[in-house]
């Protein structure tokens, strides 16, 4: 059973061709939450990093990120001091600031063949000043919060005749006997 990974255009084009053949098929969508330090502020493009400029600073893309002010990462329950190294382009040991994300996977199974398209949607940072009391920081403190991405970013624009199903567990069967 072959498995084909597609980009967005190829995936939608394959669905369009299936509609023309009048075959019956289902489009499955699986959304899974990840926080595995795959994404961090060091690798973000400048337009996206500008949202972190209140609390962090870096010289360029893929350079080490340092804190400008002490802040609390509310999502990960971590506190960072001023001038602390929070993320770099290479592997850093702790502390490491990561950005949570949703991995969205669309798939179509037709006659034992699976076509799938995956993409990641990063959570949106939201920086506020709150009054906090704690061991390391108290008083008015910058707080980094992450909001889930809007639903419109998690959906793929499919042809109008296609209905998609959200699934919790997607099992991929890979048959290696078909490879020579």
173 in a structural domain: no
Residue 53 within a domain: yes
Task: Give the pLDDT score at 179.
Answer: 45
Q: What would the pLDDT profile of 128-150 be if each residue is shown by its tens digit? A: 999 988 777 779 999 999 999 99
Can you give the pLDDT at residue 173? 45
Could you tell me if residue 22 is inside a domain?
yes
Looking at residue 62, what is its pLDDT? Answer: 87
Establish if 56 belongs to a structural domain.
yes
Q: Are 18 and 128 in contact (CB under 8 A)?
A: no
**pLDDT of 91:** 60
Q: Domain containing 17: what range? A: 3-164
pLDDT at 71: 94
pLDDT at position 180 is 41
Q: Is 9 left (phi over 0), alpha (psi -120 to 50) or beta?
A: alpha
At residue 166, the pLDDT reads 86
Task: Specify the number of domains making up the chain.
Answer: 1
pLDDT value at position 93? 56
- Residue 52's CB is within 10 A of a number of other CB atoms, namely 22
For residue 42, which of 81, 95, 94, 98 has the smallest C-alpha distance? 98
Which residue numbers in the chain have pLDDT < 70? 1, 89-95, 169-180
pTM of the predicted model over 0.85: no
- CB within 8 Å of 70: residues ≥ 6 apart: 79, 80, 81, 82, 136, 137, 141, 142
- The neighbour count for residue 1, using CB atoms within 10 Å, is 14
CB atoms within 10 A of CB 55: 24
Does residue 170 lie in a domain region?
Answer: no
176 in a structural domain: no
């Amino acid at each position: 059973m072959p498995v084909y990974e597609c980009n967005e255009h190829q995936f939608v084009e394959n669905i369009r061709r299936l509609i023309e053949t009048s075959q019956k098929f289902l489009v499955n969508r699986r959304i899974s939450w990840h926080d595995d330090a795959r994404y961090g502020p060091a690798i973000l493009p400048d337009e996206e990093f500008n949202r972190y400029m209140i609390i962090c600073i870096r010289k360029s893309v893929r350079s080490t990120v340092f804190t400008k002010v002490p802040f609390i990462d509310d999502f990960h329950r971590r506190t960072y001091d001023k001038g602390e190294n929070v993320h770099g382009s290479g592997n850093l040991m702790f502390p490491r600031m990561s950005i949570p994300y949703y991995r969205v996977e669309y798939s179509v199974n037709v006659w034992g063949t699976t076509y799938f398209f995956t993409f990641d949607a990063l959570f949106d940072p939201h920086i506020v000043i709150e009054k906090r009391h704690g061991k390391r920081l108290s008083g008015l403190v910058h707080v980094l919060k992450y909001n889930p991405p809007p639903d419109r970013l998690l959906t793929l624009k499919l042809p109008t005749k296609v209905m998609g199903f959200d699934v919790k567990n997607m099992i991929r069967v890979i048959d290696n006997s078909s490879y020579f």
